[in-house]
Structure 1
Amino acid sequence: MKAGRASLGAQSLAVIALFCAGARAEAQGTAPVAPETLPSSDAAGLDPTSDMAPLPDLGVEWPTTDDAGIVPSGDTPSKADKDAETGADAQAEQHYQIVIDGLDDAEGLSNETRAGLRLRFDSLSALKEGDGKGNIAQIDRRARQDEELLGELLRAAGFYEATVATRIERPAGGKLRVVLDSDPGTLYTLAAIDLPGIDAAGDRAPEVRKALGLKIGDPVDADRIAAGQAAVTAELGREGFVFAKVAEPELTVDHEAHNAALSMAIDPNGARKFGAIRLDGDRLFSAKHIGRIARFRPGQPYDSARIEDLRRALIQTGLVSAVTIKPVQTSDPDVVDVSVKLEPAPPRTISGALGYGTGEGYRVEASWQHRNLIKPEGGVTFRGVLGTQEQTLGAILRRNNYKARDRVLTGQVFLSHLDQNAYEARSVTIAAGMERQTNIIWQKKWTWFYGVEFVASKEDDTVKATGAPRSRQYLIGALPTGLTYDGSDDLLNPSKGYRLSGRISPELSLQGSAFGYVKAQVDGSYYQPVTDRVVMAGRVRLGSILGAGAERIAPTRRFYAGGGGSVRGFGYQKIGPLDVNGDPAGGRSLAEFSIESRVRFGDFGVVPFIDGGNLYAATLPTFDNLRYGAGLGVRYYTSFGPIRVDVGTPLNRRPGDSRVTVYVSLGQAF
């Protein structure tokens, strides 16, 4: 197409000047003023007291309403109405509402496209930007802009013959109504789709063609075509064509047949393989360590999805604020190296927490962490807890991505004092382990851990039968191991699927003489959506200690039940066998269950629940005399997970049990 040329005369230039002045005046909330025609004499000779020259008639009139209360946009008023140009009605602020007619009945306009069209119109509309008020001139100018905008949006959606007309109505005693009458016309569809050059992709061509997501007969929708172009580009990168070029889509429209032919040229430019990792700039990590994190190896086919995975994994370390990754052509035409540039993030963190739980009292926790004190990714944390029932001071080493992706090496040393109803313990703990971790970004199906633990502890409790106080010292060695399968859809707020985990810890205890036992626990949970707003969730926990009697086992190593992560409605450790003083004695076996209904309303939700469970002196749980608690929870859903507040009460309380308990935490109860 050739663009025509036209010259602008003096009057046209004056109209443009008036339009620009009007635009500035609208932004300042004043009426536009026509430019004055200055005399040709020198400015020094002007008489400031003389009358101004008459304004030229530029032929631009203010809109006025007809007898029916309608302002036909663009109509020229009569000579008798010209005084309204500067009158109070034209200058007064008017309130208006916007109505779009014709879209709901348009043939071929899907509900999804209609909703998207309205959303985009609202975000770009000059009338919407005007906040529903302005003088008549401003409203008319905005209506003209929106008339053109709606027409363009309809054409982009495939309605090439769309027409839009605007009118302004003034109902008696009401605010103005700006009506955009739209007639989308016939929907144009794709009659042909051609991707010249795609055959150069070889056996990968079908996948690239499939990524376009368009077929003959689909609407000529600009958004879908642009999305298809982006998808083709991404698929070429995933198939190894790192330097591929995808031309801008070209449409040949046939107005008589109401269809169009789409052509989009593709130059795959040859498939490549991964080469070496190169570092550019700050060497926060070595190339070897980045290679451990990457899910690709030299010689494998290039895949842009694996490059994006590496970028996210580097950000996930917490040590990187920005990552730039680029393919670099090597001397081998089939190989590209990967250039990585890292911008370091602040490595130190100070954090604190304050909490309260019924039966547990207050708890204040503070920590200082250096996430790269021992390179690479060797984070050291010093942590302290000061609470009603716990005082702890310790250090933790955590080496992320140790020898392999997502593998974590841990080591810790703790001094602790626990003053529970069941016991009082002063302990020194040294532990180390290896684990495969899961997180919100990469939620793993399978995770595991294994380790070693040494505990030296002085523990005070009572003899269950007599209530006599006693104090004993323990040296304990343990080999804890665990395996978890997570088939749920979300780490902090699951709505479907299930989880199953098992933990086993062979332990050797020295108290007077050496003896051994095995502590085992199994947890399972299931999540079932009922409606879009309601999810039913259930949990079961079973535990057992084999090889030693409960009285011989250190009080800190026994099972306990009750509290926010156990049976809600009861205080912490308030379920199970009691000594003659009414204090918890712990048990060798455990059985618990929970059922709750998670009902969500936007960012808030309510959760009615019922829990049950008990402890037993026997090796295996007998499921007798279960204790039940029920209550109601409130959830506030944030971007990082729900904040939980649960209020529970025991249904079969014993003397001394609280009537109401409160629990506050992050994430669902299970």
Structure 2
Amino acid sequence: MAAQQAEPSLEDLIPDSAVENPVEWAQQGEPGGQPAEPVVEVDPSSPLADLPAIDVPWPDDLELPQLAPLEPDDSIQFADMEDATNPRPALVDADVVRVTDELVLAFPPDDAAFPQQVEFAERFGNLSTIAELDTDDDNVAQLAARAKADQALLDTMMRVYGYYDAQVVRSVASIQPGDDNAGSRPEVRFDIIPGARYRFGAIELGELNTAVDAAALRRAFEIQPGDFMSSDKIVEEQFNLDTALGEFGYPFAAIDAPELLVDHARTEGDLTLAVRPNGKYVFGAVNSNLPRFLSGQHLSSIARFDAGDVYQRSLELDLRRAIVSTGLVSSVTVTPREVAAPVGDQPGTVALDVELTRAKLRTIAGALGYGTGEGFRAEASWEHRNLFPPEGSLRVRGIAGTQEQLLGVTFRKNNFGGRDKVLTVDAFASTIDSDAFDANTVSLIGTYERRSTLLFQKPLSWSVGLEAVATDERPAPLGGVVQPRQTFFVGAIPLFAELDTTDNLLDPKKGFRAGLRLSPEVSRSRGTESFYLRGQFDGSTYLRASEKIVVAGRVRFAAIPGTELDNIAPSRRLYSGGGGSVRGYGYQRIGPRDINGNPTGGRSLVEGAIEARVQTGFFDGALSVVPFLDAGTVSRSVTPDFDTVRFGAGIGVRYNTGFGPLRFDIATPINPGPGDSRIAVYVSLGQAF
């Protein structure tokens, strides 16, 4: 067989004449053929009349190579989106936690492999896209798309817990007719294989060792080499270290963002937290930008620190809260400023510069209330809260009601002589026309007290005062005959103390309160001078029976020993009944009565009440239902005789306004006396007790 000739190269096919003059060669046509057609110049702007036909024959002997099939990758698990029913799980005998009807987490059966299962599953459920968008109409395709986002979330969460080699296997399945679970919704399952939990390696805390209190500060940062890694722990301990720096006297301390270098070979992570203590300091002066409004000296008097005390950030924040609670400012900024730098182990000094913005100081307020037996009551007031700086207010108030009318002027000096101590002088004239008595009274009362406020609820409150009263009174008409008036001049020293362990001033849910009032008094009327003691004990307790139920109870004991009932002005005797006493009865309607059934008051009193405050799901949980039972008795003697104990029961609703609960109670007397109404209604702000 003759040898096959070699194919010519590109250089062999191009003649020399084409290389020397390519244009002339192209016009000659193919070698050995006809001359080429002359080149026709074409106007670029003219359209093509006819497109030339293109005829390319398809080779009959062309054969394309077959593609080799891909080998399956056994590391990937698939659940058929259309007809798979039970894809093979990655974990055998897994500990399965169902997050929602269509979302399942599977953990290793050995709890030691991942002891954070419960916490992890709850946290994942709060962040899951599948759980957030869960509806009854979800199909497999929708779940598959959401499952990708949830898998990325799980990967991130496993690293947060220190499992950097964790694997999360995702499977999505639909239930087919004929299956035991036919009719169920499609389901996403994540099999979590934790792997090894990494530990902290080296811990670098920057310049912390330069601080005077380096050892104590290091103890505040409770992460040691060898501890299990946790991003949550890093954040928590960074906060604890920052708090400790602020409490140990380092107002200018700074902490950079943490850096974690993970070494997979060692299964460890080296943590770097750049800390700069920047010196230790003590408190200096407190300066005000408005010295005639609230002076620096006054602000120092309400601070819970003295000059020379070690700086504490919590005390700085407490001062800011105390200034806000005065109600005289709309904004407060407290800035530490270096006065003297630290020298060696001796701390420096910082002054606190207080930047104040005045609030509106004049207030007009009003209140409306209603109670069966008490009738309507409207109260209005005008107040200037800093007419006598610092914190000296003047308030004018008036009451117009069915039974009471009053006009009064009150001077009040807040933070007088110390933090949260208040001096009050109150002068008023009032008339009261109740079922028990008719009184025209002029009073002058001065008190010095330490009481709880909404911002600063105190475990111990107290007050001491002086009271001068001139009152012209007469009892209720007897047999239709108006009784003669009798004038009483009363001097008293009212004393009060209360222990409070509750968690909220207006709406307590746990704890107790115990208060004692004592008022030694002298009374003079018609030439008779009497000395007696008015005493009263109030106790209440609050127990959270469940997440949505609070059980509350109260008792009251009161007595007036020292003189006969007739020597005591009717307005200063003891009465029971009403919205703050025994509900279901009219105001002051419980107790001894005259022959016409009018209350005469007494010298001893016993009351008790119990109620259940049940939170409902209405208005996002703001509405509560409150069934209650009250009881009370009043006796003419100093010791209760319990001859007649009145009971009242009812139900109320509470609407939580955010400031405090709005109360609406409706009650009925269980064993009413003559003239008692069958229904009583009470409306007010705050709980009954």
Common fold: TM-score over 0.5: yes
Residues 1:640 and 2:659 are matched in the alignment: yes
Moved more, 437-446 or 589-598: 589-598
Return the match for 2:215 from 192, 205, 219: 205
Superposition deviation, residue 540 in structure 1: 1.9
Q: 2:361: which partner in 1? A: 347
CA distance in 2, matches of 1:568, 1:269: 62
Moved more, 249-258 or 438-447: 249-258
Return the match for 2:624 from 575, 598, 605: 605
Return the match for 2:114 from 104, 107, 110: 107
Render the CA deviation track for 1:290-343: whole Å, top value 9, x for unaligned.
Answer: 101111111011111101111111111112222211111113431111111112
Q: Normalising by structure 2, what TM-score?
A: 0.75
Render the CA deviation track for 1:615-643: whole Å, top value 9, x for unaligned.
Answer: 11112323332222222333334433333
Q: How does 1:121-160 map to 2 (within 5 A)?
A: 121=128, 148-160=152-164
Letter paired with 1:398:
R
**Counterparts in 2 of 1:130 and 1:660: CA distance versus 1, 3 Å:** closer
Q: 2:525: which partner in 1? A: 511
Q: 2:284: which partner in 1? A: 275
Superposition deviation, residue 350 in structure 1: 2.1
SS in 2 for 1:330: strand
Return the match for 1:250 from 252, 259, 277: 259
CA distance in 1, matches of 2:685, 2:155: 49
**Counterparts in 2 of 1:268 and 1:298: CA distance versus 1, 3 Å:** same
**Counterparts in 2 of 1:418 and 1:281: CA distance versus 1, 3 Å:** closer
Return the match for 1:592 from 607, 630, 633: 607
Return the match for 2:468 from 444, 448, 454: 454
**Counterparts in 2 of 1:225 and 1:112: CA distance versus 1, 3 Å:** same
How many residues are aligned here? 581
CA distance in 1, matches of 2:196, 2:611: 50
Render the CA deviation track for 1:540-593: whole Å, top value 9, x for unaligned.
Answer: 212122333222221111111111111122111110011111111111221222
Superposition deviation, residue 388 in structure 1: 1.2
Render the CA deviation track for 1:438-476: whole Å, top value 9, x for unaligned.
Answer: 123221111111112222222232487996522122332
CA distance in 2, matches of 1:484, 1:476: 25
Q: 2:273: which partner in 1? A: 264
CA distance in 2, matches of 1:131, 1:68: 20
CA contact (8 A) 2:420 2:451 kept: yes
CA distance in 2, matches of 1:135, 1:320: 57
CA distance in 1, matches of 2:521, 2:408: 23
Q: How does 1:349-498 map to 2 (within 5 A)?
A: 349-462=363-476, 469-498=483-512
Q: Normalising by structure 1, what TM-score?
A: 0.77
SS in 2 for 1:426: strand
Residues 1:558 and 2:573 are matched in the alignment: yes
CA contact (8 A) 1:162 1:182 kept: no
CA distance in 1, matches of 2:108, 2:628: 45
**Counterparts in 2 of 1:407 and 1:562: CA distance versus 1, 3 Å:** same
CA contact (8 A) 1:480 1:505 kept: yes
SS in 1 for 2:319: helix
CA distance in 1, matches of 2:279, 2:610: 57
Superposition deviation, residue 361 in structure 1: 1.1
Long gaps (5+) in structure 2: 1-45, 47-78, 85-100, 178-182, 343-347
**Counterparts in 2 of 1:616 and 1:133: CA distance versus 1, 3 Å:** closer
Return the match for 2:685 from 642, 666, 669: 666
CA distance in 2, matches of 1:136, 1:114: 22
**Counterparts in 2 of 1:358 and 1:189: CA distance versus 1, 3 Å:** farther
**Counterparts in 2 of 1:507 and 1:320: CA distance versus 1, 3 Å:** same
CA contact (8 A) 2:163 2:198 kept: no
CA distance in 2, matches of 1:104, 1:408: 64
CA contact (8 A) 1:425 1:459 kept: yes
Superposition deviation, residue 121 in structure 1: 4.7
Return the match for 1:288 from 297, 321, 324: 297
Q: 2:235: which partner in 1? A: 226
Q: 2:194: which partner in 1? A: 185
**Counterparts in 2 of 1:111 and 1:130: CA distance versus 1, 3 Å:** closer
CA contact (8 A) 2:167 2:195 kept: no
CA contact (8 A) 2:649 2:669 kept: yes
CA contact (8 A) 2:654 2:662 kept: yes
CA distance in 2, matches of 1:440, 1:331: 38
Letter paired with 1:248:
A
Return the match for 1:548 from 540, 557, 563: 563
CA distance in 2, matches of 1:100, 1:283: 66
Q: How does 1:530-541 map to 2 (within 5 A)?
A: 530-541=545-556
C-alpha RMSD of matched pairs (Å): 3.7
CA contact (8 A) 1:284 1:342 kept: no
CA distance in 1, matches of 2:409, 2:623: 38
CA contact (8 A) 2:597 2:674 kept: no
Moved more, 634-643 or 173-182: 173-182
**Counterparts in 2 of 1:464 and 1:113: CA distance versus 1, 3 Å:** farther
CA contact (8 A) 1:188 1:260 kept: no
Q: 1:500: which partner in 2? A: 514
CA contact (8 A) 1:591 1:614 kept: yes
SS in 1 for 2:121: helix
Return the match for 2:589 from 555, 560, 574: 574
Long gaps (5+) in structure 1: 1-44, 46-64, 71-96
Moved more, 273-282 or 357-366: 273-282
